Copies of this chain bind each other. A is one copy, B any other.
Amino acid sequence: MQRSAQLITAQWLITAHESGVQTIESGAVHVDGAGHIVAVGTATELRSALDRSGAAHTVVDLGASILMPGLINAHTHAAMSLLRGAADDMALSDWLQKRIWPMEAALVDESFVLVGTQLAAAEMLLGGTTTCADMYFYPKSAANAFLSMGMRAQLALPILDFPTRYAADPDAYLALGLEARDEFKGEALLSFALGPHAPYTVGDATFARINAYAAELGMVVHTHLQETAQEVVDAVAKNGVRPTERLQKLGTLSPDFLGAHGVHLNDADIALLAQNNASIVHCPSSNLKLASGIAPVSAMLKAGINVALGTDGAASNNRLDLFEEMRLMALLAKVKANNATAVTAAQAFAAATLGGARALGLSDTTGSIAPGKAADLVAVATSRVGMTPLYDPVSHLVYAATRDDVTDVWVGGDRRVTNRVLAANADRALNDSMPAVNAFATRVRALQHVDA
């Protein structure tokens, strides 16, 4: 779709680069009609360049706002928004076995994934998240949901060694997933990863097949990794090595490997991941809520691992809110390392933007405000009492702002949120799905107090 070019200006433009976080006062972005960033600089520079060129363009002046790259939620199970708050304050085993798995077995189908993912996408977009890495069943339904909301997503095709309602065996998971990938091949907003659920649910033979597909098709491998202490103990008992070492031996670790959680990584695990230029997605809220622990993020960064941020699903968070995860990353790293300088606001901001793009293999497309990338942009108001005074906009983004300070959001140059309101077509899609959301909620309530 061709639109008019846009010149977007704001009091602060903030973006991460490989070399650090850059702030431009009275900054501007020139976005072309195809939704790509043409130029970044001061408003004065870009205005005069556009005036000289005489090119038609619309001007969006965001005033005393911060313009930043769209946030990237690098690990979520979007459709689980329908289970938000359905099971809290429970031990992980009870939570999974008595609540989440039985609810999923009873409820999860194409419709659940479609409307649950639309709900999640609306929440994420309104909160400044423009891209997510989703891992769930029925990825075709998820793909349709993200397209209906105009959100960028990377769908990790689910693969397990055991049957679910969605598929019977690894062959079926792979076939269904690759079929979804083929169907949506031309969509600029969508990409696909291979999503072996976890080392403890996927055997060596299946990992070998996944590695082959990943190499052949150039796909990211996205899996849960060492989320709990128990799964590491169990893995050592079963395989003789820790999960990270097993994946290394299987040849799964690479720059295209993305491990979610990484709470219980020891120095050897961190060294292996760093040596392979792999990425870890830190999910602090979920790791606290399920009492999994606090990931050694400071040690990972020191070792050179690319760290991204994720919310996990709404059943274990219960927000899909990257502002909250940025804040927690910076705060928790300080107690974990017993050092208030451990992870700075700028490092948390970089993880939530460029770190996410690198983890998803999308750093040519998104994750920073740079010429050639898609215009995935977010405006954050600084006018509220809780943002006053303002000494350092990066500090405020991480420690003081909430997602409710987000006013405007662009995905690939399309304005998806204007003054805190979803674009009309997305809002319509969400409204159309609300009867189904409410019907699923009624069924969840009926299952909440069943003893499984």
A176 within 8 A of B: no
CB proximity to B under 8 Å, residues A15-46: none
**Chain B residues within 8 Å of A293, by CB:** 335
Checking B85, B341, B395, B402 against A391 with a beta-carbon cut-off of 8 angstroms, the contacting residue is B85
A190-218, CB under 8 A of B: which get 1 and which 0? 00000000000000000000000000000
Task: Flag if A88 contacts B345 (CB, 8 Å).
Answer: yes
**Contacts A345-B88, A441-B391 known; A385 to B291 CB distance under 8 Å?**
no
**Contacts A88-B344, A288-B332, A390-B85 known; A385 to B95 CB distance under 8 Å?**
no
A187 within 8 A of B: no
Complex Cα distance, B403 from A385, in Å, reads 12
**Chain B residues within 8 Å of A294, by CB:** 335
Complex Cα distance, B402 from A321, in Å, reads 11
Q: Contacting chain B: which of A118-126, A166-174, A355-363?
A: A118-126
Complex Cα distance, B391 from A127, in Å, reads 22
State the copy count for this chain: 2
A265 within 8 A of B: no
Q: Contacting chain B: which of A60-68, A269-277, A312-320, A371-379?
A: A312-320
Complex Cα distance, B444 from A202, in Å, reads 56
A81-107, CB under 8 A of B: which get 1 and which 0? 110111011111001000000000000
Task: Flag if B400 contacts A402 (CB, 8 Å).
Answer: no
**Contacts A290-B340, A294-B335, A391-B86 known; A400 to B430 CB distance under 8 Å?**
no
A396 within 8 A of B: yes
Complex Cα distance, B321 from A379, in Å, reads 22
**Chain B residues within 8 Å of A390, by CB:** 85, 441
Complex Cα distance, B264 from A338, in Å, reads 13
CB proximity to B under 8 Å, residues A267-321: 285, 287-294, 317-321
Task: Flag if A319 contacts B386 (CB, 8 Å).
Answer: yes
Max chain B CB contacts within 10 Å: which of A84, A95, A441?
A84
Task: Flag if A84 contacts B318 (CB, 8 Å).
Answer: no
Max chain B CB contacts within 10 Å: which of A291, A293, A437?
A291
Taking Cβ atoms with an 8 Å cutoff, the residues of A that contact B are 81-82, 84-86, 88-92, 95, 119, 122-123, 126-127, 285, 287-294, 317-321, 330-332, 334-335, 337-342, 344-345, 385-386, 388-392, 395-396, 399-400, 402-404, 430, 437-438, 440-441, 444-445, 448
**Closest 6 A-B residue pairs measured CB to CB?**
A404-B404, A389-B441, A288-B331, A291-B340, A291-B334, A318-B399
